[in-house]
Amino acid sequence: MSVLSCNRNECGNVMCDTYIEGIGYVCRECQEEFKLYLQKTNINVEYEYDIVVALNIFMSIPKGRYSDSEEMTVDKFFSKHTRNND
Ligand SMILES: [Zn+2]
């Protein structure tokens, strides 16, 4: 582990300076995405334990899943999947 590679699923970043006991290295990109993840999933973190639990789940989710900033609504979802009949 001399390259300090990020432990996140599908993340190839190395030289991480953040190490969490029981979880491993977390790069800056994944830290930022983790914040978005918490917002979007409405997970409430008040204690260090909450963060560890949420981060543990987050680390197994493939990278980039929460990085797109565009909000998805039901209307947008259906229009995205609407076929043009012309
Ligand atoms: Zn990462």
User: What is the pLDDT, as a whole number, of residue 80?
Assistant: 83
Distance between Cα 82 and ligand 1 center (Å): 35
Output the CA 9–ligand 1 centroid distance in Å.
Answer: 8
User: How far are the Cα atoms of 7, 18, 32, 33 from residue 4, in angstroms, in the given order?
Assistant: 9, 9, 18, 19
The domain ranges of the chain are: 19-80
As a whole number of angstroms, the distance between CA 12 and CA 66 comes to: 17
Average pLDDT over residues 21-43: 93
Strand partners, 19: 25
Measured in angstroms, how far is the CA atom of residue 6 from the centroid of ligand 1?
A: 5
According to the model, what pLDDT value does residue 1 have?
Answer: 47
pTM, full prediction: 0.75
Q: Residue 34 and residue 46: Cα distance in Å, rounded? A: 15
> 36-82, pLDDT tens digit by residue?
999 889 999 999 999 999 999 999 999 988 876 566 788 888 888 88
**In angstroms, what is the span from residue 59 Cα to ligand 1's centroid?**
9
pLDDT grade for 3, boundaries at 50, 70 and 90: confident
